[in-house]
Structure 1
Amino acid sequence: MEAYTALLTLSQILDKLQPRDRRRFFHGKDDLVESLRQKVGFLQDFLENSPSDKASNFAATESLETRISAAAYAAEDIIESHISNQLLANGNTFWHLDSFWKMIFRVQSAVSVAVHVFWTPITHLNAVSVVAQILISARRNHKWVQVIKEMDFIMKEVDKIKNACCAGEDLWKNTNILPASTKASSRLHLGMRGENLVVGFEGDLAEVRSRMVGASCNLEIVSIVGMGGIGKTTLARQVYDDNYIAYRFDIRAWVAVSQEYSLRRVLLGLLDSAKLLNADMQDKEDEELAVYLYKSLKGRRYLIVMDDMWDTEIWDVVRRSFPDDGTGSRVLLTTRISDVAEYANSCSSYHMRFLNEEDSWNLLCRKVFGEAACPLELEESGKEIARKCGGLPLSIVVIGGLLSKTSTTQEYWRSVANNLNAVVLEDDDQCLEILSLSYNHLPHHLRACFLYTGVFPEDHDIPVSKLISLWAAEGFLKPNISKSMEEVAEGYLKDLVERSLVFVSKKSSIGKIKTCKVHDLLRDLCLKNARKENFYHVVNRSADVKQDSNAWRRLSIQPVAQRSDKIYRSIHSITHARSLLCSGVAPHLPSYVHLIFRLLRVLDVVNMHFDEFPVEVTELVCLRYLAFTCDSKLPPSISKLRNLETLVHHKWKFGLRPTLLPRRILMMPKLRHLLVSASRFPDSLGPAHLLGKNFILENLQTLSEVRNFRCSKDIIKRVPNLRKLKIAYDVSVSELWQSYQLENLVNLHQLETLALHCYHIRHAVYPEKLALPLQLRELTLSGLRLPWYNLKSIGALPNLEALKLRRSACQGPEWRPMEEEFCQLKFLLLEGLSDLVQWRVDDTHFPRLQRLIIRSCYKLEEIPSCIGDISTLQLIELDDCNPSAMNSAGQIQEEQQTLGNYDLQVHLNK
């Protein structure tokens, strides 16, 4: 995997250079570098088309891959070091590097000789391995004579590699294991992917649910006990999301308590899940947070789920925040440790058992075939596979994900059955052996993406937008001329979800994956393989940094290590690092770390607070991803980061006066995602000689959240390909709305997601001229105070799928949609509409509506009963609304059930 990833990133370094810069930098020898890129591509093709689980069976091939990955990294260091040095020394101007490219010329000449003399069926491997070894030697010694000597040694190794590969070909012919990239030629229906399947635990589900709604008025603590992967979280989630449970409890909160979690994160997690968290609490002490949680829960019936409990010390503190005041509240724990359940004084403990063979087989079938039946010729092998998974649901689901993505032939299923060791699962290590089979069969292009999920903390909700940007910055995404990087990445993620290696945590209002998670056992698998392949290193303490650490390319410093200065002193020597990711809230990152890691591509320190912008960062000219928190504005020198694709600039303090982004940010042509807080986009572009008359950010897709964005035609032309835009305005008079020229938004022809917020309105003013692009799919409005009749133009948008009207987005007591409006709308949120009383609507106004969410609309009297007649409607959710509206929603559910519609869910949260 590491060899493939290294070659992919190396080829992208060459590909991403603009033709003009390549000519200037390569000093007329661009064709030589192109030849090198093509030779690297040969090896990529070999790895992509070979069985991913076979190469590791041959020591010679293993050695070859190790040398190639090291060589590719060495080539990266040589090229990017020269680029970095010249950019910093010569004002971002590429200078001619004759001596460097004379070396490249000699390398290419040697490759040509090697290809001519040693042409075999695996010549491309030989050629690239020669290049690899030459580059390694050249980098070490910078002497061509020694490179030639190294070539002689490599040539002696070629025969050994050839013989090993020939022997491997014979072995491959006698095996039924197919390449990981094989697509099933006779694919059956593949359903139920990425979902929480409950098979064999229906009785446990009924018992736990019964305990949650029992008659006791005392606070009861119920625990679910079992080993990792047995389904504790799935069972708890089924209870937590139950319609009646949601209706019965005034407050529900869920927090994951893993080995890496602190008391503070648990308290903040509970407050956030219970919708009790505000910005001021981030600065509170732990004891203050605990007291606030207690006061918020007192007198209310609450349900708390603490998932994956390990630490009894955390329980001691958190337990004091759960009042027992006769409301019939419940706390549900899941844990792997029986002693934790006993320590918590559970009134009931449910010890989850392994699935029997019948339930194991049923779960496997549902994962692979959905509602369809398993073909008879696969049953024998399939039942053996299910039995060898030892009754552990996670293993069954992951192996099912593997089977669902590959050939449905008897030979393949037999080979999987033969490669699964029959074990009785009693610990995590045995489970990892089974899970490793699915990882070993991953296509090469997915391996790096899957392993990378391990850099995030345990039980962490991973934002998909961030994950995709990091994948792109790391060079994991293979370019596709017909798709954007984001589309390629979404396909990768979907594949991992279908294989049950990644689980969907939250979806967006238009159905895209918003956040995802990795089961802690699968994360252990990621960490184990990442260490083995030297892919990245997770640092929890200074002892994790060892003598061979200088070869590390990627570092993830976890929350427990964030406040240790010793950690930063320990990583000081890791000069070849390309990625530094820091999780959790922590003090400043020492500036010397920035300077030492001068070839960084990824610097994610968004949870660190800088008082002033760390100017050392602008020296990291290879950066593609930068995320940090600083209350001061961005300096013009940020434009030195010409390779930057994602820039995230958060501000620590709330309510800061917006600062102006530098005009030179428009001189960053590779920028794709710009996420800033309390910042204004330049209103004027300055002199033509500074930016150029036609200078545009044509790659920019995300701009969020800019303040008081002036949508002049000139500015809109500079960001023509925006797909996501979030703007906040501070408007008190109508003239200001006119100056912002919102009617020009219609010219953003690629825009799919738009959020418009208005703060601090002093008068009833609203934008009279608001024109939106026709391809808009998701729209959020807040504080605009639009008259309801102004939604007519919004309702006419032909592609609008999600509409969120928040906090005084509209004003007036009555909303009466017109016919043929909102024809494609699937998601509707009404929140904080304080003066809405009547909603005049019928089922023809929202013919495709799937989810209706209403929150804090205190005056809304009822939900029209005809809403229930919308055939596509799946969910009605009311939270903190008028009791009469809550009752009307309950009546809609009753009416639909009398008509046989049991699919409609109604959630009523008091």
Structure 2
Amino acid sequence: MALDAFISLKLTIEDLIKNPFSSLSLAPPTQQILEFAYQQLHSSEEIARKLLLRTTTTLDLQIKVAVSKLLDTIRSLKTKHAPSGSSVRYIEFSAEEVKDLKQDIHSFAELFNTMYIAAAEEEEEDGDSSQIGLSGRKSKMIGLSDHYKELKYHLTRPASPMMILVLVGMAGIGKTTLAAQIFEDPDIVKHYDLRVWVKIGGKCQLKDIPRRILAKLNPDLSDRFLSKGENHEIARCLRENLKGKRYLIVLDDVWNKYMACHFYWSSRYKIFESEPFPYERNESRVLLTTRVHQAEEHNGHFPDYVSRLRFLNEEESWELLRENVFAEELCTSQFEKAGKKIAENCEGLPLMIVKVAELLSSKERTLQYWNEVAAEKNHQLFMDAYDGISKVLYSSYENLTELLKLCFLYMGVFRQNYEIPRGKLINMWSSDGFLEENAHEFPSPSAIECLNELVANNLVMIYQSNISPNSAVGEEQIKTCGLHSSFWYLCNREARETKFCCILKILNDSLGGDIQGQSRLAFHNNVLFGIKDVYESVEVHCASTSGLKLLRELDALTIRFYEFPLEVLELVQLRYLALTLNGELPVSISRLSNLQFLIVGSHLSIKSCRGPSFLPVEIWSMKEIKHIDVMYSDIPNPCGASLESLLTLSNVSAHSCSEEVFKAIPKLEKLGIRIELAYDDDVKLLSSLNQVSNLKELRSLKCVIVSPEIVPSPLAPLPNFPSTLRKLSLSGLGYPWEEMSKMALLLSLTVLKLQNYAFQGVKWEAREKFWSLQSLVIEDSDLVEWKVGSESMKSLKRLSLKHCYNLENIEWEYGRSPDRIHWACKDSLRKIEMVDCNPLGAEEMNKALPRWKKDALAVHCSWDDTKRKK
């Protein structure tokens, strides 16, 4: 049996390291290699007994062969080097023998991990099998040492009540590895009377947790009691087993986002029928690892300690790769240069780095091959590595609901490492039709919830965030997001296998029959559309009866069109159309009667000399349209028609700001106005901005004036904006700071951006109360002195000052209540950003801040960075 071979291997290594050859000792590194192997075998014996008893015949044979090979290697070395009357104190194996020993241990570890994964799949436990176990040597906790020290401190520091500690992070980032290392730490072992490690996984229910803990604590309990016993009986039995003990319970790989904190707050919320833990002030701890962010919190209650594991930086990535490839060997500078680039392409994910190192070690080590791998991010070695870690990552995808799976797969239509704007992603989700839309709000709350859920499950990464203008409390809102390359690869593979999307990257991709009947088509290589064969192939399919008639979305913003491609008009099912065009939209655009999103960009290097052009009047017949973003264009007079579904209108000039137009789009929520002062009537048209106040549903307004003047003069009185505004962005208007009093009348205003001399003057005394303002940006201003009243911006969370070269004097007033002195926005302010501003202003800001807020200030000067680089 494989179990007999496993135990024999453990005993052989134990005998070798404890009594190698009479009184002699093994020389490093052989001693360390075998000691580590023994520790791993010893700690894995319990699970090995369970798993090896039910392996398949084939796997059983493979394990016995692997163990026999390793045993033969050890015994042959022992026989070969056993001395006869020698006085040598240390026995040294040759480098080649050590290499063979390490390789055999590694082969066995790989097989054992395969067996573990297979057994876990049989149990339908979607657990994190990313822990680096029998890898040949003990990890140095690269990139995790700070987490290790801090976690160890919280596990051993005096704190009488039971505490819960959480490790959060993406699959493969090292949560289980870190928890396992600290679980076996000698100080931790000594500190606790009981230590219990419980694997949770995706199928575990809340009521199963006490049962699994109890099974670990008391193996003699019958399976019938553990499975059929009443909850209160299980709780009582568990409490008796823990009573009087200082215990550490590790819940590894918690998937249910509410389970962890429900477990912790069980007594308060009466989740269990009776309390399973004895209430004793004995410094017991519960440590859990999870991929799910919301597992950190429940009903406003937070764990005692949360550690969010990060990706490794470039130096740490190279260190981990080098250690796993070279170990104690010398790495030359040439290999180091290539290796650093290879490590960088792993994007800081430890599991990916270790897998790449394993694949590199299996190949002949030549500088030419390493340079080839380093030069190409899509080299076959990386593809093999992605395949190798896919089992660990796949469980994150498989655990999603069907709707979230669709949303995740959709992100594969974007290029690798693409920073996806939140609005664009949600618009495309909505237009695709698999999200339920809310009739009154836009973007759809269900779409936002889906995106937040993907982020919470650590599948989607946030690149930029800001304050949400759609919330009274102003929570953080995703601005741009994307996928780690490992998940991007998984996403593309699943999309291809399920025929969710057709992605064209190389010439042969586009000429096959795969695009027939596709509802989603994405170009990841823009050069393709410039190839005649590709263009004609797509054109034929577009024009055919069965080809791309089902296509619902076409995103071709990165492809330049000088004339509107009339073939697109054959795609009558289109809901989303985005392209870059220098010509006019045809009147026949109305044939796309199902179109909801129309986005037309312009060639940045080409500027029309004719001024703004009008959209065809037929646009008013497109009743499904929700979003229009056509650069440098205007909506014509509706002549009595209306667009009841239109929610967003962007990049139009003041010509569109007429009473007739605004009456015809009563539900508009987002408006973007761009005015280029190149025509005489544009100045007169600025007065039409007053019509904006007629938009009763408007939530977001952006008004940009492009003027040849560096500091424009006020062109018209500042209009009265709708009281419903939550986000306002102004640029180039040149109003005096006194006009800011009108901004204070907007009681719902959450985000305010003032750019390119939107307001001008050397002094601004902010005395008005901006009741809801939480994010303020001032960029490119001639402001010299700024004074903020103690009651002016009490809700401010973020302040960004950029390119304010004259700003020297900043004063934040203190106010006085009956019992204490308070500082403006002292409770809410989280971050102050000063980019390329006057150094005197930065010093004044630092002085103005109370000592408990100084950490919120971040100052960046590009000229200082340049000087340091030199």
AA paired with 1:658?
A: P
Aligned to 2:745: 796
Aligned to 2:603: 652
Aligned to 1:727: 673
Take 2:477 and 2:565, find their aligned partners in 1: how far apart are those partners?
A: 35
State which of 459, 464, 470 in structure 2 corresponds to 1:506.
464
Take 2:514 and 2:682, find their aligned partners in 1: how far apart are those partners?
A: 64
Aligned to 1:521: 486
Aligned to 2:412: 454
C-alpha spacing 1:739/1:524, structure 2 compared with 1 (3 Å): closer
Aligned to 2:69: none
- For residues 351-402 of structure 1, what are the alpha-carbon distances to aligned partners after superposition, in whole Å with 9 as ceiling and x for unaligned? x99535156999999999xxxxx987776898474499xxxxxx96536779
Aligned to 2:232: none
Aligned to 2:805: 858
Take 2:483 and 2:696, find their aligned partners in 1: how far apart are those partners?
A: 36
Alpha-carbon offset, residue 512 of structure 1 = 2.2
Aligned to 1:270: none
C-alpha spacing 1:556/1:363, structure 2 compared with 1 (3 Å): farther
Aligned to 1:492: 450
Greater Cα offset, 432-441 or 759-768? 759-768
| Equivalence map 1:576-725=2 (5 Å) | 597-654=548-605, 655-656=607-608, 657-682=611-636, 684-685=637-638, 688=639, 693=640, 695-725=641-671
Quick check: 1:710–1:739 contact (8 Å CA) kept in 2? Answer: no
State which of 484, 487, 497 in structure 2 corresponds to 1:532.
497
C-alpha spacing 1:902/1:758, structure 2 compared with 1 (3 Å): closer
Alpha-carbon offset, residue 457 of structure 1 = 1.0
Name the SS for the 1:632 alignment partner: coil
Quick check: 1:636–1:663 contact (8 Å CA) kept in 2? Answer: yes
Take 1:640 and 1:843, find their aligned partners in 2: how far apart are those partners?
A: 58
Quick check: 1:542–1:566 contact (8 Å CA) kept in 2? Answer: no
Quick check: 1:829–1:852 contact (8 Å CA) kept in 2? Answer: yes
Name the SS for the 1:439 alignment partner: helix
How high is the TM-score relative to the length of structure 2? 0.54
Structure 1 unaligned residues grouped into runs of 5+: 1-174, 180-198, 208-227, 233-351, 369-373, 389-394, 406-421, 578-591
Alpha-carbon offset, residue 787 of structure 1 = 1.5
Aligned to 1:812: 761
C-alpha spacing 1:734/1:363, structure 2 compared with 1 (3 Å): farther
Q: Does 1:771 align with 2:717?
A: no
Quick check: 1:542–1:570 contact (8 Å CA) kept in 2? Answer: no
- For residues 26-53 of structure 1, what are the alpha-carbon distances to aligned partners after superposition, in whole Å with 9 as ceiling and x for unaligned? xxxxxxxxxxxxxxxxxxxxxxxxxxxx
Alpha-carbon offset, residue 841 of structure 1 = 1.5
Quick check: 1:751–1:776 contact (8 Å CA) kept in 2? Answer: yes
Q: Does 1:398 align with 2:313?
A: no
Take 2:851 and 2:495, find their aligned partners in 1: how far apart are those partners?
A: 52
| Equivalence map 1:329-344=2 (5 Å) | none
Larger relative contact order, structure 1 or 2 (CA cutoff 8 Å, min sep 6): 1
Structure 2 unaligned residues grouped into runs of 5+: 1-121, 127-140, 150-169, 184-194, 203-207, 217-248, 256-287, 299-350, 359-384, 469-475, 815-822, 863-870
Quick check: 1:753–1:777 contact (8 Å CA) kept in 2? Answer: yes
Name the SS for the 1:741 alignment partner: helix
- For residues 394-447 of structure 1, what are the alpha-carbon distances to aligned partners after superposition, in whole Å with 9 as ceiling and x for unaligned? x96536779999xxxxxxxxxxxxxxxx99976543432122223222211221
- For residues 126-169 of structure 1, what are the alpha-carbon distances to aligned partners after superposition, in whole Å with 9 as ceiling and x for unaligned? xxxxxxxxxxxxxxxxxxxxxxxxxxxxxxxxxxxxxxxxxxxx
Take 1:362 and 1:878, find their aligned partners in 2: how far apart are those partners?
A: 49
Greater Cα offset, 538-547 or 490-499? 538-547
C-alpha spacing 1:812/1:480, structure 2 compared with 1 (3 Å): closer
Name the SS for the 2:753 alignment partner: strand
Quick check: 1:711–1:740 contact (8 Å CA) kept in 2? Answer: no
Quick check: 2:517–2:546 contact (8 Å CA) kept in 1? Answer: no
Quick check: 1:788–1:814 contact (8 Å CA) kept in 2? Answer: yes
Take 2:661 and 2:604, find their aligned partners in 1: how far apart are those partners?
A: 29
Take 1:362 and 1:431, find their aligned partners in 2: how far apart are those partners?
A: 28
| Equivalence map 1:287-306=2 (5 Å) | none
Quick check: 1:402–1:438 contact (8 Å CA) kept in 2? Answer: no
Quick check: 1:230–1:354 contact (8 Å CA) kept in 2? Answer: no
State which of 816, 834, 837 in structure 2 corresponds to 1:881.
837
Name the SS for the 2:809 alignment partner: coil
C-alpha spacing 1:534/1:496, structure 2 compared with 1 (3 Å): same
Aligned to 1:584: none
- For residues 211-258 of structure 1, what are the alpha-carbon distances to aligned partners after superposition, in whole Å with 9 as ceiling and x for unaligned? xxxxxxxxxxxxxxxxx96559xxxxxxxxxxxxxxxxxxxxxxxxxx
C-alpha spacing 1:883/1:387, structure 2 compared with 1 (3 Å): closer
Take 1:594 and 1:514, find their aligned partners in 2: how far apart are those partners?
A: 40
Q: Percent identity?
A: 29
Take 1:376 and 1:711, find their aligned partners in 2: how far apart are those partners?
A: 65
Q: Does 1:827 align with 2:794?
A: no
Q: Does 1:557 align with 2:505?
A: no
C-alpha spacing 1:206/1:445, structure 2 compared with 1 (3 Å): closer
Take 1:399 and 1:818, find their aligned partners in 2: how far apart are those partners?
A: 44
Take 2:530 and 2:676, find their aligned partners in 1: how far apart are those partners?
A: 41
C-alpha spacing 1:475/1:735, structure 2 compared with 1 (3 Å): closer
C-alpha spacing 1:699/1:500, structure 2 compared with 1 (3 Å): same
Take 1:669 and 1:560, find their aligned partners in 2: how far apart are those partners?
A: 32
Take 1:363 and 1:471, find their aligned partners in 2: how far apart are those partners?
A: 41
Alpha-carbon offset, residue 538 of structure 1 = 2.4
Quick check: 1:738–1:769 contact (8 Å CA) kept in 2? Answer: no
Aligned to 2:702: 755
Name the SS for the 1:677 alignment partner: strand
Take 2:148 and 2:807, find their aligned partners in 1: how far apart are those partners?
A: 36
Quick check: 1:712–1:744 contact (8 Å CA) kept in 2? Answer: yes
- For residues 622-650 of structure 1, what are the alpha-carbon distances to aligned partners after superposition, in whole Å with 9 as ceiling and x for unaligned? 21111111111222221221111000101
Quick check: 2:437–2:444 contact (8 Å CA) kept in 1? Answer: no
Name the SS for the 2:655 alignment partner: coil
Name the SS for the 1:705 alignment partner: strand
Take 2:681 and 2:714, find their aligned partners in 1: how far apart are those partners?
A: 6
Greater Cα offset, 539-548 or 657-666? 539-548
Alpha-carbon offset, residue 724 of structure 1 = 1.1
Name the SS for the 2:557 alignment partner: strand
Take 2:733 and 2:424, find their aligned partners in 1: how far apart are those partners?
A: 29
Alpha-carbon offset, residue 473 of structure 1 = 2.2
Quick check: 1:367–1:400 contact (8 Å CA) kept in 2? Answer: no
Q: Does 1:201 align with 2:148?
A: no
Take 2:685 and 2:581, find their aligned partners in 1: how far apart are those partners?
A: 32
Alpha-carbon offset, residue 830 of structure 1 = 0.9
Alpha-carbon offset, residue 618 of structure 1 = 2.5
Name the SS for the 1:562 alignment partner: helix
Alpha-carbon offset, residue 722 of structure 1 = 1.2
C-alpha spacing 1:542/1:464, structure 2 compared with 1 (3 Å): same
Take 2:651 and 2:571, find their aligned partners in 1: how far apart are those partners?
A: 25
C-alpha spacing 1:476/1:621, structure 2 compared with 1 (3 Å): same
- For residues 300-346 of structure 1, what are the alpha-carbon distances to aligned partners after superposition, in whole Å with 9 as ceiling and x for unaligned? xxxxxxxxxxxxxxxxxxxxxxxxxxxxxxxxxxxxxxxxxxxxxxx
How high is the TM-score relative to the length of structure 1? 0.51
Q: How many residues align?
A: 524
